[in-house]
Amino acid sequence: MTGQVLLVDDDAAVREALAQTLELAEITAITAGSFVAAKDRITAGFDGVILSDIRMPGRDGFHLLDYAQKQDADLPVILLTGEGDIPMAVAAMGQGAFGFLEKPCAPADLLGVLERALKTRALVLENRRLLQLVETGDPAARMLFGTSAMAEALRKRVRLVAQTEEDVLVNGAPGSGTSKVAEVIHLSSARSKAPFVKRAAAGLTAETLAQAVQEADGGSLFVDEITHLSPQLQLTLSETGSPAEGVRLMVGNTRDLKAEVNAGRFNADLYYRMEGLSVRIPSLAERPEDIPVMFRRYVDQAAEQAGLQKPDVTPEVVAGLMRRDWPGNARSLMSVAMRFVMGLPDDVAPDAALGLNEQMSLVEKSLLEAALRRAGGQASAAAEALKLPRKTFYDKLARYGIRPEDFRQ
């Protein structure tokens, strides 16, 4: 379980014991001894839940509940009650409290209520975020970065698929962002204002699938890494298609799905049902010209998220990025951008032994190789894609010792 809980109790010993219980469950505990101490933490954007004692000196749990609801009516507040406070707690439920627990409460009971509250809060905030993206224009343009022909083709495919109601298969190498692309499809569709629910296929049962379907009512359900789905659920989906009327099914995949079918590890009927409408995400190795563009966008996002000044992405930094293979694709690029903003060590920095011209030569070489890879080793097609005269293109190949035949399959 993950998430954070604002824990409010005037009894320091109780506060410490509850905080330890939360931390053992990998929940971040933010503690406060009074309403006044907790007040500044209670905002509409708070991404956790509140656990508060009812009886406290000064402003009690009812004041806290009332204040929280004024800040955000969907912010879950769970109240802790003493033996004689149960009628008060029941009254608080009528005023909108998420739940109440009698002290002392068993850790299992406490964590069970908190898990439900944290899931509810996460879903509310996710739906708000999605609605905001819908209202700010074209989600594909806002969320799928890159200026290459492949990036534009991806955006075009996403917009086209979004206009249908068919089930969708999203293919991509690990870290390429299958869930993000599925989210953009949802946001670009007629279901955009309904929930978008993500679940990992590993560990899904008939019961948890049914719960996810219920949460996605009217919207889209994305099941990631579909090859990890149990054989029984594969069979169920192959027979029924979308898991329920009114829910669009999208699945993500990072493996060779046809090979999994041939090996008997994936249901053939489900494969043929899903492959009819698919979206393939090109890897960064196929479109290295998008790396600087995407990195700058991720740096912008990381700086805003961390509240830090955005560092300059210099040509030397770009050269350092272009030296790398990026097997982790967009996910790795985002991680490097965050470390870059935080000033943490990373090999994104240029090699001090190389001058600027040498570093930019590395960038040029990677772009030439990528163009040949996309063109299957056909030099004329690669030169045309790069908008270079054929003689200039061949001169550059000779300079870097690149042979087109090495890229032919």
**What is the mean pLDDT of the segment spanning 142-170?**
90
In a domain, 132, yes or no: no
In a domain, 133, yes or no: no
pLDDT in tens, 49-98: 999 988 888 888 888 988 998 889 889 999 888 766 667 767 777 778 88
Q: Looking at 227, 260, 281, which one is the last position of a domain?
A: 281
DSSP tag of 328: T
Question: Can you tell me which residue has the tokens 């946001």?
Answer: 187
- 159 and 119, same structural domain? no
d(CA 197, CA 225): 14
Predicted confidence band at 132 (pLDDT cuts at 50, 70, 90)? low
Give Cβ neighbours of residue 121 (< 8 Å, ≥ 6 apart). 3, 47, 48, 49, 74, 75, 76
In a domain, 389, yes or no: yes
Quote the distance between the C-alpha of residue 65 and its chain's center.
Answer: 31
**pLDDT > 80? residue 258:** yes
Domain that holds residue 183: 138-281
- Taking a C-beta distance cutoff of 8 angstroms, is the pair 290, 145 a contact? yes
Highest mean pLDDT: which range of 137-141, 206-210, 279-283: 279-283
- 267 and 182, same structural domain? yes
- 293 and 277, same structural domain? no
Predicted confidence band at 343 (pLDDT cuts at 50, 70, 90)? confident
User: What rounded mean pLDDT belongs to the chain?
Assistant: 85
In a domain, 188, yes or no: yes
**pLDDT > 70? residue 38:** yes
Name the more confident of 9 and 147: 9
- 341 and 263, same structural domain? no
- 258 and 346, same structural domain? no
pLDDT in tens, 184-226: 999 999 999 899 999 999 989 989 988 888 899 899 999 999 9
Cis bond upstream, residue 104 (ω within 30)? yes
Q: The domain spanning residue 151 has which CATH number? A: 3.40.50.300
d(CA 178, CA 249): 14
- 251 and 171, same structural domain? yes
d(CA 31, CA 134): 36
Q: Looking at 72, 93, 127, which one is the last position of a domain?
A: 127
**pLDDT > 70? residue 229:** yes
- 301 and 375, same structural domain? yes
Instruction: Work out how many domains the chain is built from and give that number.
Output: 3
